[in-house]
């Protein structure tokens, strides 16, 4: 018995040792050169694909296209405000199914970089924070503040535990090899002082203490505490070095383009410039590059932040908003990845030996342990091509380019020589009929009914709506004496309104008097316009509009929107009348929202009206119609160019905000960063920033799909059409 007992204990010890060694073997580690997975150092290419900016039906195809494009890793933020819409109530269903998304990445044989944050920026509403967090007593965001740290730690722990429960960390055999805590804090840290530094140390310690078995990173955070790795975000990161010599050089956001805001231009980043930036980063010791975005997707619903960020988050990414490959960006980057992987052993084995080839020309030469050689030949001159001699051979280097030589002899790739032809995009009519139109007009006269509240003074919008709606009514009344001289003269009064943004529609006695909006660059604005009042009681109703909450900046708890400052009437016999501190009635949202008109299954208390749309262009109008799904499998969109501004739903699913405001300001040419560094080019003159709005195929039924539109200003709904997106490649 004693012998058997010893044998049994010995066997258990061997098993435990084996499991321990397996755990150690699976841990992700790093040194100054690179991330090591299962003990093997790797040069890794990643791409950002955000699960809620597409649909579950699209995920597998997007991930496979990323793999085919030469990526090793899928990068995604975690969206706190989607997953915890109210304290302690979680949602991980449908587009929010983070676990399923990561499992699909694993199925494809790729890794995951999970950027928990939980602050994400991302041009996302409130930077990913749930709005209820603003109203936690005593809170101060992103600083050494106990209420904030408690909430942040709870959500971070929730996500980490979900991943552990599903064995999704690499240390458990899963695909997650990196996690991120916080996000781009360094630009704000000076405003927080010592409390900000203490917060960074706390956040790092909290994250590392969760024992995930994979490294944590902090992007744009130079003083990231050990063992957390600080990383770079930007158009270029060749200047970047980690804060400790034993940490690898990682680029968490290589910007493939830029986001668009309503009224602004759209952007493109030439792939030649992007490839040059990546190759230059690699030749200077970089070993991890994440493209932000690889697929940008769509800001469905009210998720866009900014404010004023468009519903499209296309980002000029290698895979476009609709899931189609964008050429030549996709294939040119794919060839870059292949070329770099051919040099991987040499790149990870040695530091570069730099050879000066000319005034702007250099060679970065690397050697592997087996004696192999790889070289990057660069020409930093943006204006002129160059001829150089390297290893007794002659090479032509286009301007602003890098040639990659995996054997130090033969060029397999040059960043400026683009082989793939450009893909052309067409939005083609489907001839689908949108029929059975019905309408409902919001009743401006009922906005101060029994469901409204009345107080003295102007209240901040977010404190009342808690972001449950884009809309808040401010209503007051003004009595005009029949003896007022302006009535006899027939001259109008002037109404002035100061706001904190983002837009207003002003109604006088139920009639639209005017509208005004801020911009992404200048959110606060004022409204000044002549108005007509009549003797007796006059009602002034202001519909204040949010166009997505800000997503970047310090002290989220102090942000405000809505009618703030003053409301003043000018031109009365008494001179001016300040309405700011008189009684105002407040009502959250619209009648159509309260009745859930966007849902095909709702039973509203209102009655829809059938009729012709040709002469109907009233403000604050709801439209409903039906259509059959177009045949085929091409991606679909709504052409909203005939409308003004509002929101749109298909079968109860929110496509998002639309706004056909035309591009203003500079919409041609390119912007530059640093010495001759081309970053992004503008286009879109003469039309709206966004005309087409993505309709996921999976949201459609074969027949009788409901389309609901809420139009704020007044548009021609009869011009709404369904189009399909086609791409062709030049021969």
Phi, psi values for residue 380, rounded to 5°: -85, 0
Q: What is the pLDDT of residue 604?
A: 81
Q: Which CATH architecture has domain 444-589?
A: Sandwich (2.60)
The whole-model pTM stands at 0.94
| CA atoms of 263 and 241, how far apart (whole Å) | 37
- DSSP string over 294-342: EE--B--TT-B-BTTB-SB--TT-SB-TTSPBPTTHHHHHHHHHHHHHH
- The percentage of residues in the chain with a pLDDT greater than 90, rounded to a whole number, is 84
Residue 139, CB-side half-sphere exposure with 13 Å CA sphere: 20
In this chain, the answer to whether the domains covering 30-326 and 424-440+595-729 adopt an identical fold is no
Token output for 347: 């790149």
H-helix or E-strand spanning residue 48: strand 44-49
Give tens-digit pLDDT for 610-639.
Answer: 877 765 778 999 999 999 999 999 999 999
- Compute the average pLDDT of residues 462-489: 92
- Compute the average pLDDT of residues 558-576: 94
Question: Is the model's pLDDT at 385 over the cut of 50?
Answer: yes
Give tens-digit pLDDT for 286-324.
Answer: 999 999 999 999 999 999 999 999 999 999 999 999 999
Question: Is the model's pLDDT at 193 over the cut of 70?
Answer: yes
* Residues with catalytic function: 184, 253
Among 3.40.50.1100, 3.40.1130.10, 3.20.20.80, 1.20.120.1810, what is the CATH number of 30-326?
A: 3.20.20.80
Q: Model confidence at 684, in pLDDT bands (50, 70, 90)?
A: low
Fold (CATH) for 424-440+595-729: Jelly Rolls (2.60.120)
Give tens-digit pLDDT for 353-371.
Answer: 999 999 999 999 999 988 8
| CA atoms of 591 and 404, how far apart (whole Å) | 62
Question: Is the model's pLDDT at 97 over the cut of 50?
Answer: yes
Averaged confidence pLDDT in the chain? 92
| CA atoms of 318 and 66, how far apart (whole Å) | 9
- Domain spans of the chain, in order of start: 30-326, 349-419, 424-440+595-729, 444-589
Q: What is the pLDDT of residue 403?
A: 98
């Amino acid at each position: 018995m004693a012998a058997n007992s010893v044998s049994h204990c010995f066997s258990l010890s061997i098993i435990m040792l084996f499991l321990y060694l397996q755990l150690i073997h699976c841990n992700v580690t790093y040194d100054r050169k690179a991330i090591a997975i299962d003990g093997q150092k790797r040069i890794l290419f990643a791409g950002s694909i955000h699960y809620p900016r597409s649909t579950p039906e699209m995920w597998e195809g997007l991930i496979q296209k990323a793999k085919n494009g030469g990526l090793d890793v899928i990068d995604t933020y975690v969206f706190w405000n989607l997953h915890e819409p109210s304290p302690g109530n979680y949602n991980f269903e449908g587009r929010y199914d983070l676990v399923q998304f990561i499992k699909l990445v694993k199925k494809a044989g790729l890794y995951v970089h999970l950027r928990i944050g939980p602050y994400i920026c991302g041009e996302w509403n409130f930077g990913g924070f749930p709005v209820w967090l603003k109203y936690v007593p005593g809170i101060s965001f992103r600083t050494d503040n106990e209420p904030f740290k408690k909430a942040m730690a709870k959500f971070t722990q929730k996500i980490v535990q979900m991943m552990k429960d599903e064995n999704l960390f690499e240390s458990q055999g899963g695909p997650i090899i990196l996690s991120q805590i916080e996000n781009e804090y360094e630009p704000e840290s000076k405003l927080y002082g010592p409390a900000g530094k203490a917060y960074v140390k706390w956040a790092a310690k909290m994250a590392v203490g969760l024992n995930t078995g994979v490294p944590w990173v902090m992007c744009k955070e130079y003083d990231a505490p050990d063992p957390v790795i600080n990383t770079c975000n930007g158009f270029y990161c060749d200047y970047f070095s980690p804060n400790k010599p034993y940490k690898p050089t990682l680029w968490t956001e290589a910007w493939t383009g830029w986001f668009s805001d309503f009224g602004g231009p759209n952007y493109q980043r030439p792939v030649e410039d992007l490839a040059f930036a990546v190759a230059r980063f690699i030749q200077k010791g970089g070993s991890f590059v994440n493209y932000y975005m690889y697929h940008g997707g769509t800001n469905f619903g009210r998720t866009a932040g900014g404010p004023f960020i468009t519903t499209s988050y296309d980002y000029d990414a290698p895979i476009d908003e609709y899931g189609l490959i964008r050429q030549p960006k996709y294939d040119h980057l794919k060839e870059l990845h292949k070329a770099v992987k051919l040099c991987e052993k040499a790149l990870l084995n040695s530091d570069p030996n730099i050879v000066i080839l000319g005034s702007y020309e250099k060679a970065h030469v690397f050697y592997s342990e087996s004696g192999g050689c790889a070289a990057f030949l660069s020409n930093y001159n943006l204006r002129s091509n160059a001829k150089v001699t390297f290893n007794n051979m002659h090479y032509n280097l286009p301007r602003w380019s890098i040639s990659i030589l995996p054997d130090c002899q033969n060029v397999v790739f040059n960043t400026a020589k683009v082989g793939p032809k450009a893909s052309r995009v067409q939005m083609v009519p489907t001839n689908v009929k949108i029929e059975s139109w019905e309408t409902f007009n919001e009743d401006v006269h009922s906005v101060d009914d029994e469901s409204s509240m009345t107080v003295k003074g102007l209240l901040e919008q977010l404190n009342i709506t808690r972001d449950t709606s884009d809309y808040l009514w401010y209503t007051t009344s003004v009595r005009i004496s029949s003896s007022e001289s302006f009535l006899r003269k027939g001259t109008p009064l002037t109404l002035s309104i100061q706001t904190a943004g983002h837009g207003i529609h002003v109604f006088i006695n139920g009639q639209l008097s005017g509208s005004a909006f801020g911009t992404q660059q200048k959110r606060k604005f004022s409204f000044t316009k002549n108005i007509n009042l009549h003797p007796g009681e006059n009602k002034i109703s202001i519909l204040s509009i949010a166009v997505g909450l800000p997503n970047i900046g310090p002290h989220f708890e102090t942000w405000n929107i809505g009618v703030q400052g003053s409301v003043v009437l000018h031109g009365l016999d008494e001179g001016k009348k300040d309405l700011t501190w008189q009684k105002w009635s407040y009502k959250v949202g619209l009648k159509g929202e309260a009745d859930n008109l966007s849902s095909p299954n709702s039973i509203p208390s209102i009655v829809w009206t059938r009729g012709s749309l040709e002469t109907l262009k009233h403000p604050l109008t709801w439209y409903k119609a039906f259509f059959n799904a177009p045949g085929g499998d091409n991606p679909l969109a709504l052409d909203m160019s005939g409308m003004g501004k509002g929101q749109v739903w298909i079968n109860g699913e929110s496509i998002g905000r639309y706004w056909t405001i035309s591009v203003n300001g500079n919409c041609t040419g390119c912007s530059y960063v640093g010495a001759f560094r081309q970053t992004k080019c503008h286009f879109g003159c003469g039309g709206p920033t966004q005309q087409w709005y993505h309709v996921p195929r999976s949201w459609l039924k074969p027949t009788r799909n409901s389309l609901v539109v809420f139009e704020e200003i007044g548009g021609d709904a009869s011009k709404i059409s369904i189009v399909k997106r086609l791409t062709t490649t030049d021969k």
